[in-house]
Structure 1
Amino acid sequence: MKDDDRNRELFEYTSGRWIYNEPRRLAERRLAFNVDELKKAAAKSVNMSISDITSFTKLAEGGFNRVFNISMKDGSAILARLPYPSTLPGRFAVASEVATLDFVRAHGIPTPRVLGYSVDDNAVGSEYILMEKLPGKPIGDGWFDLSEQERLKVLLEIVKLETKLFNIDLPVSGSIYYTRDLPPGVPKVHIPGSAGELCIGPYASLRWWFGERGNLDINRGPHDDPRLVLQAPAEKELAWIRAHGQPRLPFERAYRETFDYQRQNPEEHTKSLMDYIRLAPHLVPTDTNLNLPVLRHPDLQPNNIFVSEDFTITGLIDWQHSLVLPTFLAAGMPKSFQNYNDEESISFVPPQLPNDFDSMGDEDRVRVQEQYRRRHVHFFYLGFTQRMNDRHWHALEHESGLLKRRLFNDAGSPWEGLNTPLQMDLVRVLENWSNIASPNSDGTVPACPVVFTEQEAQRRAALDESLRETDSEMERINNVLGVASDGWTTNEMFESAKERAMLIREEGLAAVSDDPWLREMTERHWPFDDCDEDE
């Protein structure tokens, strides 16, 4: 392989394509680094020399990192994980993941052993983590093909590992770091029992650093008061809006028709954030156990779960952006296991296949079997949690917990021209106030500090319904095209996806051909064309 071709393979994203805005996505992921210096660092981490390396290959590329496999003469292998230039919060993300991996490993969670890392300027030209290669392989798409017993075994082990996490005593909310990796002056709280080596410092999740937020002089934690934990993300967004907020179109172009293609005012979001901050003190549970800080895996999905041939879990990977939060905010089912859109799953009913399953046609059998699989996973994750993880189950039992977590997440989401999610959360809080508000000392429910007219609540509900319908339609179209929500597809599917997208575009424009203005708007804001993402 020529050097130019080899560098392209190592430095650039080659694991898929995007059907729109591809140059931008590729630029975000391009990372030129010193290959020989990385090899030297890897060999040194296991007391070998660069001459002991037999191969250096790209193993995987995800949303935030590129992973290389470094094979040694003795048959061992080292994994080198380098973040993309666009991955935030840079050195904090790497430093926090290293410390988190070591911390949870010491508490019985199987994770890759960190062999070396760097978060400062170095000869490699990038932050990096060097790790041992775990035995086994990720479940990945094979999750959908597991037998019931195999699924149950994995779910049971997941819940056992989560129980270990919930039983760890942590002093405050934030993210975990080695004390040595935080610059002087950065707030930190030492973790008892770590001899001062480990601490909890600023939140390492992306939303705290996205865009210009990384330059804001704001309180990113750690926080010892759940009221501060609740308020801080909204205060972060208020600070960003005051410094940088400008009217803009919703980032998701498919939403723009709902708003008549008009720019949305950040001041409207400011009002919602202020309403949320007034509500926040009332959202803190009176049960102190629900306020205890807990660490969860940030993305517990099949690609991050390694198993042996008999489906014993050999490791959990990708702890980047991990957070310590109060239990009532950290609780919740991992997205890959939940099935909240299904009434039977919500009711916690044991799943069963219908009596006429064997006589169904092939298409109906596939649909019903998939529905059953989702119910099966949802039910048994909850069932195992109820049996083994009291702290988590106690938090999940609170019917207002799901709404509180959604409210907290939407208040902290970076504003990109969409006000409706937080607005609708506030309406739902008002509708369920008696179940959500923490009671006064005399047992009475305090008055809700936020009030909406019925007309305003209906306006928000209508917008929310329109956006949900758009989400469903976009999911259907993405499935037809074979692309992810950001337009990503496999290299093999790229050309056919582009062709199908063009056909759908022509059909969409033909459907509005009688209205010149609507046709112009549809063409200008078509969701599968290249666009300016900052308009």
Structure 2
Amino acid sequence: MIRKFASRLTRRESIPSPSNGPSSTKVSRSRSVHTGWNTDPDLFRYTRGRFVSNEAHEMAIRQVNFNMNELAKRVAESVGSTLTQCARVEKFPDGMFNKAFLFTMQDGTQVVGKIPNPNAGRAYYTTASEVATMDFVRNHLGTPAPRVLDWSSKATENPVGAEYIIMEMVTGVQLKTIWPRLDIRERFEVAKSISRYQKAWMSTLFTQYGSLYYLSDLDYTNPIMHRFAVGPSTGREFLDDGRIVMEFDRGPWNSVEQYKLAVGRREIACVQNMSHLPQSPLSLYGPGTYNPSRSKKIASLRNYLRVVKYLLPVDKSISSAFLWHPDLHSENIFVHPERPSEVLGIIDWQSSEIMPLFDHARQPYFLDYNGPSMTGLDPPVFPENFDQLDPAEQAAAQSLYLKMSLSALYRRFTCATNERLFRAMEFRQTPSFEMMLFAQNILVDGEALYRSRMLELEDEWSTLPGVQAAGNPPIPFHFSAGEANAIEEDAAGAIKAMELMQSLRQSLGNLWPEKGVVSPGQYDEVKTLLDQAKAEIVGPLAHSEKDRMAWEKSWPYHG
């Protein structure tokens, strides 16, 4: 039971973010008056949707004020034109972390300009690393990343007034536009193409963990391949949920153990120093469920620090450091419209990291599979009771079977052509990996179930390969009978909180605000439904005015 819900807590890593980069869908705004682009406020703010919780803050961290006229001038110069030859500026639909614009010259040349939002990452490092990464994967790893024409990672030292990247427009169409009409054979061909790029990314082994930069953009010298070096991580885990402004070790790290220890220490630093803990996106906490606790979060993480070296894989080859694309979903992959297995571009390299292979080895998001965990090479089994299901259940079962089949094909192809990556994929299904993955987001949620897993670990300890390889040392912590009872009680409350959130999500169906965002036209309806659901959920759990007030305070969907 605990593992079932623990996997839900860690599933956060497999939910793709809305696209951070250019999209080929309809742009939201254009203006063709030369040097008049600064007058349109929609170019600088988030317009793709509305937030059902803490909207003023969410909008503020996605507002960027800069000089669009100066950006247009630099775009024109990057292709040998002048500002007066820039015929049109169009805004792509907002990503969660960036704004992207399509600039069209009078001769038809099209160029993309990208501006990071304040929530995209730390100033300077985010843009500097993204540019170096695109250069490296394009010119050293043979990946069709966009070619950068001009860029600046220093907002105060350029007339645009913001960090920016100007790059070539990627050709082809987004994979998402044609994926629904592809049969399983065609989808598998796309998966094989991406798998080949993954193998190419494994052709360069790094000696440190972090993110990639030009050597000239770092204060120290530890070069790789002459112009490049590994520096602080720009990964989203080191930025999201308020971590962006906190002080902790961001790397680079010289070993996988250093890196994994830094993850635990990062979470402790944030738990200790944040004025308010982030709201969980997976649980509804309040009277009658579990009460999130800083002290229990820190206790969980200290136990993690004690055991992490025993959780690392015995197979050192899958701990090796590689550079990887962070978000292989169908909006970030551009393909030939008639030959979809021909990948023409992979965009959005922001937040790329050099991490252990086993951290990279998740199934690509574009395969659109979020069902039961799959191990080994056996094909999925079609439901034996298929004929007894009603039409809706049959459609759901058939859809799941097809997605499982595609996932199985990808796994078999990876095993045959990139066996090292397959071994890393298999390690991700072990209790050792589960315990590492579970710990890396305890700032936000999960300490109750993590402590329960630690309780179970006492019985499993001697079976862990890392423990056996170390000569079977004793487990470095112990829970008393009283502590064990309290942990199980907390876990039961945490599971109830997750079930409440699941119930809330199901009650809204297709109107559920994924990542807290809804379309502007649905905002009022969704807010009304959330208020109604709150009354239905909180009513049976609030046994006093004090309980009701506590639920009112903890309810996540306020304005």
Which stretch of the first structure deviates more once superposed, 276-285 or 139-148? Answer: 139-148
Cα deviation, 1:444-500, whole Å, max 9, x if unaligned, reads 4322223334535533542443244234224313425342142x1123333332333
Task: After TM superposition, give the deviation of residue 177 of structure 1 in Å.
Answer: 0.5
Partner of 1:200: 230
Q: Using a 3 Å threshold, how does the CA distance of structure 1 residues 422 and 43 change in structure 2: closer, same or farther? A: farther
Task: After TM superposition, give the deviation of residue 388 of structure 1 in Å.
Answer: 1.3
Question: Partner amino acid for 1:366?
Answer: A
Partner of 1:450: 477
Cα deviation, 1:400-438, whole Å, max 9, x if unaligned, reads 655444433443337247523543453454443334342
Q: Could you tell me whether the CA contact under 8 Å between 1:329 and 1:404 is conserved in 2? A: no
Partner of 1:116: 150
Task: After TM superposition, give the deviation of residue 139 of structure 1 in Å.
Answer: 2.2
Cα deviation, 1:128-166, whole Å, max 9, x if unaligned, reads 111111111222375455321221111111111111112
Question: Partner amino acid for 1:450?
Answer: F
Q: Could you tell me whether the CA contact under 8 Å between 1:253 and 1:525 is conserved in 2? A: no
Q: How does 1:461-480 map to 2 (within 5 A)?
A: 461-480=491-510
Q: Which one of 288, 291, 295 corresponds to residue 323 of structure 2? A: 295
Question: Partner amino acid for 1:449?
Answer: P
- The answer to whether 1:177 aligns with 2:179 is no
Q: Could you tell me whether the CA contact under 8 Å between 1:19 and 1:528 is conserved in 2? A: yes
- The answer to whether 1:266 aligns with 2:299 is no
Q: Could you tell me whether the CA contact under 8 Å between 2:287 and 2:547 is conserved in 1? A: no
- The answer to whether 1:65 aligns with 2:98 is yes
Q: Which one of 443, 447, 450 corresponds to residue 419 of structure 1? A: 447
Q: Could you tell me whether the CA contact under 8 Å between 1:201 and 1:221 is conserved in 2? A: yes
Q: How does 1:300-379 map to 2 (within 5 A)?
A: 300-309=328-337, 310-311=339-340, 312-337=342-367, 339=369, 341-342=371-372, 345-346=374-375, 348-351=377-380, 353-354=382-383, 361-379=390-408
Please report the TM-score for the alignment, with normalisation by the length of structure 2.
Answer: 0.83
Question: Partner amino acid for 2:474?
Answer: A
Q: Distance in 2 between matches of 1:431 and 1:338?
A: 36
Q: Distance in 1 between matches of 2:357 and 2:163?
A: 32
Please report the TM-score for the alignment, with normalisation by the length of structure 1.
Answer: 0.86
Q: Using a 3 Å threshold, how does the CA distance of structure 1 residues 143 and 467 change in structure 2: closer, same or farther? A: farther
**How many pairs align?**
518
Task: After TM superposition, give the deviation of residue 210 of structure 1 in Å.
Answer: 5.0
Q: Which one of 27, 42, 48 corresponds to residue 15 of structure 1? A: 48
The percentage of aligned residue pairs carrying the same residue is 26
Q: How does 1:375-386 map to 2 (within 5 A)?
A: 375-386=404-415
Q: Distance in 2 between matches of 1:424 and 1:382?
A: 31
- The answer to whether 1:45 aligns with 2:78 is yes
Task: After TM superposition, give the deviation of residue 334 of structure 1 in Å.
Answer: 3.4
Which stretch of the first structure deviates more once superposed, 513-522 or 102-111? Answer: 513-522
Task: After TM superposition, give the deviation of residue 113 of structure 1 in Å.
Answer: 1.0
Q: Could you tell me whether the CA contact under 8 Å between 1:265 and 1:417 is conserved in 2? A: no
Q: Using a 3 Å threshold, how does the CA distance of structure 1 residues 434 and 464 change in structure 2: closer, same or farther? A: farther
Task: After TM superposition, give the deviation of residue 245 of structure 1 in Å.
Answer: 4.7
Question: Partner amino acid for 1:313?
Answer: V
Question: Partner amino acid for 2:312?
Answer: V
Q: Could you tell me whether the CA contact under 8 Å between 1:439 and 1:446 is conserved in 2? A: yes
Question: Partner amino acid for 2:424?
Answer: A
> What's the RMSD between the two structures over aligned residues?
3.1
Q: Distance in 2 between matches of 1:206 and 1:257?
A: 28
Question: Partner amino acid for 2:251?
Answer: G
Task: After TM superposition, give the deviation of residue 346 of structure 1 in Å.
Answer: 4.5
- The answer to whether 1:483 aligns with 2:483 is no
Q: How does 1:107-256 map to 2 (within 5 A)?
A: 107-120=141-154, 121=156, 122-140=158-176, 143-182=179-218, 184=219, 189-191=222-224, 194-195=225-226, 197-210=227-240, 213=243, 218-242=248-272, 244-245=273-274, 251-252=280-281, 254-256=283-285
Which stretch of the first structure deviates more once superposed, 421-430 or 103-112? Answer: 421-430
Q: Distance in 1 between matches of 2:311 and 2:417?
A: 27
Q: How does 1:429-440 map to 2 (within 5 A)?
A: 429-439=457-467
Q: Distance in 1 between matches of 2:241 and 2:530?
A: 30
Task: After TM superposition, give the deviation of residue 317 of structure 1 in Å.
Answer: 1.3
Q: Which runs of 5+ in 2 are unaligned?
A: 1-30
- The answer to whether 1:391 aligns with 2:427 is no
Q: Distance in 2 between matches of 1:460 and 1:260?
A: 8
Question: Partner amino acid for 1:111?
Answer: A
Q: Which one of 471, 493, 499 corresponds to residue 522 of structure 2? A: 493
Cα deviation, 1:256-304, whole Å, max 9, x if unaligned, reads 2266585x44232222222111112222333331222112211111121
Q: Could you tell me whether the CA contact under 8 Å between 2:146 and 2:345 is conserved in 1? A: yes
Q: Distance in 2 between matches of 1:519 and 1:98?
A: 51
Q: Using a 3 Å threshold, how does the CA distance of structure 1 residues 389 and 429 change in structure 2: closer, same or farther? A: farther
Partner of 1:92: 125
Q: Distance in 1 between matches of 2:502 and 2:136?
A: 40
Q: Distance in 2 between matches of 1:119 and 1:131?
A: 14
Q: Which runs of 5+ in 1 are unaligned?
A: 531-535
Task: After TM superposition, give the deviation of residue 326 of structure 1 in Å.
Answer: 2.1
Q: Using a 3 Å threshold, how does the CA distance of structure 1 residues 141 and 363 change in structure 2: closer, same or farther? A: farther
Q: Could you tell me whether the CA contact under 8 Å between 2:375 and 2:429 is conserved in 1? A: no
